Amino acid sequence: MTDDAARPPRPPLLLAAVGIAALETAALVAYSVGIGISDLQSSGNLAAAPVEIAIYLLFAVGVAVCGIGLWRRRRSARTPFGVVQLFGVIIGWTLTQGDGDLTHRIGYVVLAVAVVGIAVVISPGLGEGLDP
């Protein structure tokens, strides 16, 4: 393992990828908390809420692991990060087709972040910042 002081600084595209992963992780955790609060306030069936929350939190952990891997310059984190961005495009597109202005706006934000994430992950500059 090499010393971080001997390495060149992380390129901006690598920092952007890590930032996108952090943003997506925070959004997934916030969404999970929102589901929990919403379900606690409703008088309906609470059986599905823990499962749904667990799924989103597991996905948040996966995105965080991708971000940590990219921060550590692991080339193996690049592909899973790209797959996460593809899921983001699907989720964003679905939200833009939903009901309400807020849902549409959130969908456009998710879609924009995912498209930027795809552009970052396929750029040669990101690959140059990763370990061989």
- Structurally, the chain folds into a number of domains equal to 1
Q: Above 90 in pLDDT, residue 43? A: no
Is the pLDDT reported for residue 16 higher than 70? yes
pLDDT at 2 exceeding the cut of 60: no
3-state class (DSSP) for residue 92: helix
Residue 90 and residue 86: Cα distance in Å, rounded?
6
Q: What is the pLDDT of residue 7?
A: 78
Determine the pLDDT at residue 39. 83
Q: Does residue 36 sit within a domain?
A: yes
pLDDT of residue 82: 97
Band (pLDDT 50/70/90 cuts) for residue 4 is low
Task: Kindly state whether residue 66 falls inside one of the protein's structural domains.
Answer: yes
pLDDT in tens, 67-106: 999 999 999 999 999 999 999 999 999 999 989 999 999 9
Look at residue 106 in the predicted model and tell me its pLDDT.
94
DSSP character string of 1-31: ---GGGSPPPPHHHHHHHHHHHHHHHHHHHH
| Residue 3 lies inside a defined structural domain of this protein | no
72-89 as b/e, with b when 16 or more CB fall inside 10 Å? Answer: ebeeebbebbbebbeebb
Residue 24 within a domain: yes
Query: Which domain, by its residues, includes 93?
Result: 12-125
Reply yes or no on whether the pLDDT at 55 is more than 90. yes
| Rounded Cα distance, 95 and 3, in Å | 44
Q: Which helix (H) or strand (E) segment is 80 a member of?
A: helix 78-96
What pTM was estimated for this model as a whole? 0.89
Asked if residue 52 has pLDDT above 60, the reply is yes
Which two three-digit tokens encode residue 59?
């996905």
pLDDT at residue 23 above 90? yes
Domain annotation covers residue 132: no
